[in-house]
């Protein structure tokens, strides 16, 4: 009788080692040569589907090693690499290599970090990670929280805790009701789309969101905010929460947190901060003033997979009084025997958020924080900001580029062909000029996103369609910034020559 079962999915230590070594060899070469690759191949979904068509539905199994090496080849030859030094699109960081190894280790242990008894060490590591992140951005002791998949979920988690805390009736017993006035949430027009989803998902409805206009600096207009709250109170509605943004998704603006905190205190509102992208910059000494007031937040969303350079997925919610998470998410079904420790420090993460079974996301963040240290992170974040400012300066100095905004590590700019500058229309943003310039820059972005030399995204600043570079990338260097300027101008000239019809329509 054999004492070991031979399962189709099992691997012996020797098989694992051989496949693993070969895979790691390939990964190491990829990491050392990533900058020589294109950021993306620009292949269409149809072309990629064709590449998979030759793989039949798997009825009979195959050895693991060639499968893994084949998957690695497919991915290294046909992917977009956000670890490439010229990937500056959206807000996805270059992933820390230690995070990749951490994910491997986490998958092998496969801790279910829903309950402490199922993940004894992993639970403690997640708790320590959260308290380090809070300390890292300068929060006072006491904040706790939970790791989640990313910014949307991090914001949802804090948002729901705030509603539970501030709703006049028990959400758990009575649900969200508009009896006694609609519950209202206040945020700036620059707030990320998660708030739209949250208002619908959690039953408030989109009419519950008061979008407050931004001031000339792009920050939530404080006077308008206070006036709106006061009008709403007079009309019998129930303001319950203000959402400040620390680094807005388009242009990186940080709201005036100090003033938002004061208004929250004055009107007894929950203060939530969406710091998914930008709040990590609070670690930079020269930016401390910009982030004053974050220490008053009731809840904060922060994404390690943005500016802590963690591989996807890693977001987290930090809450000043973590009991609010328990009050929102905890339940005790009879089939859980999770409180068996006498110890009152047993911590079951399923009681602090949406998930039940949970992976060990904290490990990659915990290890990266130790590898770089807060001093290493300060240097990396400072350098991203310096390079973003350099990009802005170079664009500003270039006769065919218009630099529009620069905040944190986000710069927006657009290509303005010479023929547009020779017009006697002093405002080349209006009418046909404006439309043509917007169309040209949109086409330019599409071209750049497909040709693989650099990957940018877009923003709308005023009425202007522009290119947007967000640097959360520890591989980007000064050389990349100079080259990006050259690539934009070269591609812009090529497109504007091709569409010289613009000239005819605008003159």
Ligand X SMILES: Cc1ncc(COP(=O)(O)O)c(C=O)c1O
> Which positions touch ligand X (CB under 6 A)?
91, 150-152, 155, 192, 194, 245, 248-249, 274, 276-277, 303, 315
Which residue's CB is nearer to ligand X, number 293 or number 492?
293
Q: How far apart are the first and last CA of the chain?
A: 89
Distance (Å, rounded) from C-alpha 267 to C-alpha 284? Answer: 31
**Closest to 238 in 3D by CA, of 268, 205, 203, 279:** 268
Residue number, 260 or 437, with CB nearest to ligand X: 260
| Closer CB to ligand X, 461 or 485, in the complex | 461
* Least distance between ligand X and beta carbon 275 (Å): 8
Q: Would you state the structure tokens that stand for residue 248, as one six-digit string? A: 């807005």
At its nearest, how many Å lie between ligand X and the CB of residue 162? 16
**C-beta of 59: minimal distance to ligand X in Å?**
37
Where residue 417 falls (left for φ over 0; alpha for ψ -120 to 50; beta otherwise) is: beta
User: Smallest distance from the beta carbon of 293 to ligand X, in angstroms?
Assistant: 17
* DSSP string for 450-494: HHSS-B-EEEEETTEEEEEEE---TT--HHHHHHHHHHHHHHHHH
User: Residue with the closest Cβ to ligand X?
Assistant: 151
What strands, in cross-sheet order, belong to the sheet with 299-302? 144-148, 315-319, 299-302, 270-274, 238-245, 183-188, 209-212
Least distance between ligand X and beta carbon 256 (Å): 16
Beta strands in 234-338 (DSSP E): 238-245, 270-274, 299-302, 315-319
In whole angstroms, how far apart are CA 443 and each of 56, 328, 357, 492?
38, 47, 44, 9
Distance of alpha carbon 385 from alpha carbon 471, whole angstroms: 7
Residue 55 CA, chain-centre distance (Å), reads: 34
- For residue 264, give Cα distances in angstroms to 220, 235, 420: 14, 19, 47
What's the DSSP call for residue 381?
A: H
Q: By C-beta, is 103 or 248 nearer to ligand X?
A: 248
The CB-of-437 to ligand X minimum distance in angstroms stands at 26
**Do residues 268 and 126 lie in contact, with contact meaning Cβ atoms separated by under 8 Å?**
no
Closer to ligand X by CB, 254 or 380: give it. Answer: 254
Which is nearer to ligand X, 91 or 401 (by Cβ)?
Answer: 91
Residue 121 CB, nearest approach to ligand X (Å): 27
CB of 385 to ligand X, least distance (A): 16
Decide whether 237 or 409 has the Cβ nearer to ligand X: 409
Q: Looking at beta carbons only, is 150 or 218 nearer to ligand X?
A: 150
Least separation in angstroms between CB 383 and ligand X: 20
> Which of 151, 311 has the CB closer to ligand X?
151
Could you count the other beta carbons within 10 Å of the beta carbon of residue 12?
10
Which three-class secondary structure state does DSSP give residue 242?
A: strand
Taking the complex as a whole, the smallest distance from the CB of residue 463 to ligand X amounts, in Å, to: 22
* CA dist list (Å): 324 to 166, 221, 362, 411: 10, 29, 21, 37
Report the residue number, 116 or 152, with the smaller CB distance to ligand X.
Answer: 152
Rounded distance between C-alpha atoms, residue 199 and residue 184, angstroms:
10
Please state whether beta strands 238-245 and 299-302 pair in parallel, antiparallel, or not at all (unpaired).
unpaired
């Amino acid at each position: 009788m054999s004492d070991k079962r031979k399962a189709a999915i099992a691997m012996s230590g020797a098989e694992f080692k051989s496949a693993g070594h070969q895979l790691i060899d390939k990964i190491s070469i990829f990491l050392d040569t990533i900058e020589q690759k294109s950021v993306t191949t620009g292949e269409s979904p149809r072309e990629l589907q064709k590449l998979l068509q030759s793989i039949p539905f798997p009825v009979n199994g195959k050895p693991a090693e060639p499968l893994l090496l084949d998957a690695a080849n497919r991915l290294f030859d046909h992917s977009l690499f956000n670890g490439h030094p010229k990937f500056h699109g959206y807000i996805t960081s270059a992933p820390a290599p230690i995070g990749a190894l951490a994910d491997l280790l986490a998958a092998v242990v496969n801790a279910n970090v829903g309950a402490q008894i199922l993940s004894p060490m992993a639970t403690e590591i997640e708790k320590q990670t959260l308290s380090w992140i809070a300390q890292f951005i300068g929060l006072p002791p006491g904040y706790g929280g939970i790791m989640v998949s990313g910014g949307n979920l991090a914001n949802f988690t804090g948002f729901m805790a705030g509603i539970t805390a501030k709703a006049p009736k028990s959400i758990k017993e009575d649900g969200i009701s508009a009896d006694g006035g609609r519950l209202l949430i206040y945020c700036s027009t620059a707030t990320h789309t998660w708030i739209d989803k949250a208002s619908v998902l959690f039953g408030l409805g989109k009419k519950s969101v008061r979008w407050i206009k931004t001031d000339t600096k792009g920050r939530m207009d404080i006077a308008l905010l206070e006036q709106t709250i006061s009008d709403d109170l007079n009309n019998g509605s129930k303001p319950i929460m203000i959402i400040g943004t620390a680094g807005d998704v388009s242009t990186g603006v940080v709201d005036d947190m100090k003033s938002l905190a004061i208004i929250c205190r004055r009107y007894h509102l929950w203060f939530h901060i969406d710091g998914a992208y930008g709040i990590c910059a609070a670690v930079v000494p020269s930016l401390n003033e910009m982030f004053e007031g974050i220490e008053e937040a009731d809840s904060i969303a922060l994404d390690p997979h943005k500016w802590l350079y963690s591989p996807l997925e890693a977001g987290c919610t930090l809450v000043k009084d973590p009991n609010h998470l328990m009050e929102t998410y905890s339940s005790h079904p009879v089939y859980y025997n999770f409180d068996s420790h006498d110890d009152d420090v047993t911590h079951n993460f399923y009681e602090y958020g949406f998930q039940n079974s949970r992976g060990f996301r904290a490990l990659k963040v915990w290890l990266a924080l130790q590898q770089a240290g807060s001093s290493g992170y300060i240097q990396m974040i400072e350098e991203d900001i310096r390079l973003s400012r350099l990009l802005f300066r170079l664009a500003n100095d270039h006769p065919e580029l218009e630099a529009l905004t620069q905040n944190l590590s986000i710069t927006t700019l657009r290509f303005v062909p010479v023929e547009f500058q020779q017009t006697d229309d002093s405002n080349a943003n209006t009418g046909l000029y404006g439309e043509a310039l917007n169309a040209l820059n949109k086409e330019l972005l599409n071209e750049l996103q497909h040709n693989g030399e650099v990957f940018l995204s877009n923003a709308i600043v005023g009425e202007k369609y522009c290119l947007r570079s967000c640097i959360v990338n520890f591989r980007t260097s000064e050389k990349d910034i100079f080259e990006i300027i050259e690539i934009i101008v070269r591609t812009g000239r090529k497109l504007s020559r091709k569409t010289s019809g613009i000239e005819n329509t605008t003159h």
